[in-house]
Amino acid sequence: MEISKFVAPEIIFGRGSLSQIGESVVRLGVSKVFLVSDSDVISAGWVDTAVDYLRAAGLDTVIFSSLTTNPKDCEVTEGAAKYLASGCDGIVSVGGGSPTDVAKAIATIASNGGRLKDYEGINKISTPLPPMVIVPSTAGAGSEVSQFTIIVDTDRKLKMSIISRSLIPDIAIVDPELLKTKDAKLAAATGVDALTHGIESYVSLAATPLTDIHALKAISLISRNLRRAVSVRSDMEANTNMAMASLTAGLAFSNAILGAAHAMTHQVDGLLDQHHGETNASILPHVMRFNLQACPERFRDIAVAMGEDVTGLELIAAAERSIEAVQRLIEDIGLAKGLSELGLKEEFIPLLSENATKDACLVTNPRYATREQIEQIYRNAM
């Protein structure tokens, strides 16, 4: 039997679980909290609620929210300087993938020094990070349980993938109540991000029986709940199921890594400052078609998880049903757009393709992809 490892933080899940944030931070021995969030989450009132719980636990808080949708290395540098000057000894994130990635990156620079790109790639962090508690406000990124942080390198105009077990938070608090304040477009985009995590981790070269369980569960939950979560934002059953889907997909991709779709979207997002989920929606079906021949059995499993009836179909025909199901879902939630509609110009494709070949996520793609093949996938997705 092959040896595999599965890593995860302590997880607190359920409606109202944000109330656990104070005692969770105290258990980690923190005396002063550096809280990372963004303007939208602050406006929604969730940061005030979190601060009240932290204060009730006897904790002072410093808030940092100078970040953008696709967080940048310069924002991390600013945040790390403020953390070091603040006297804080622990980090909390309340927000979506952007605040969480910034929180992890700040923790990395504050404890290890240097520049963020020094840690690009896999397992380059050597010094332990400050205690971290993550509270997601979206159902998509899965960063609350992952060993990833993704930050834009403003010089190279691409997203850096930093992957390390050190980036796994100590505690993840997943409260579906926080999803109520997302709009429909954000719910759709983050949902497709979670779906991409589930699909790419299931077909990953690093997939294991443990990651497979989480990946297929996520795919099934998203297929049955995303349309409802987008169309009826007040549906707490759908929101709760999407929160669980994001969590399980996060556990899957954190341990199985990802594939060509993420290697490619990282480049587009770094160039265009586009929402990651929308870029995934444009690229995912085309990457699935490219990868299908490498593991058709796995794509057949995905089709079944998405509710497709593949009884009596030949293997390839059954596998292709997974692509059709993904395309229908993307269309139903209003994200069926080509990359050109998102603002990508043909002239950028060669550079994006070259950068994608260097992305750590490409290593575990089930089919080897040359730069020329990646260029063609980009063109197919235009």
For 8, phi then psi, to 5°, come to -160, 155
pLDDT tens, position by position, 106-146:
999 999 999 999 999 889 999 999 999 999 999 999 999 99
* Residue 361 pLDDT: 93
Residue 1 has pLDDT above 70, yes or no: no
Q: What is the mean pLDDT of residues 255-272?
A: 93
DSSP β-ladder status, 148-153 and 158-163: antiparallel
pLDDT band at 273 (very low <50, low <70, confident <90, very high): confident
pLDDT tens, position by position, 316-325:
999 999 999 9
* Residue among 80, 72, 70 nearest 103 (CA): 80
pLDDT tens, position by position, 182-198:
999 999 999 999 999 99
* Residue 332 pLDDT: 97
pLDDT band at 3 (very low <50, low <70, confident <90, very high): confident
The single residue listed with the structure tokens 């341990």 is 255
pLDDT tens, position by position, 144-187:
999 999 999 999 888 888 999 999 999 999 999 999 999 999 99
- Count the alpha carbons within 13 Å of 72 in the hemisphere toward its beta carbon: 14
The mean pLDDT of the chain is: 95
pLDDT band at 5 (very low <50, low <70, confident <90, very high): confident
* Residue 272 pLDDT: 85
pTM: 0.94
The amino acid present at 282, given as its one-letter code, is: S
* Residue 69 pLDDT: 85
pLDDT tens, position by position, 237-256:
999 999 999 999 999 999 99
Q: What is the mean pLDDT of residues 3-21?
A: 95
CA distance 250 to 197: 7
CA distance 31 to 171: 16
Residue 213 has pLDDT above 70, yes or no: yes
* Residue 274 pLDDT: 80
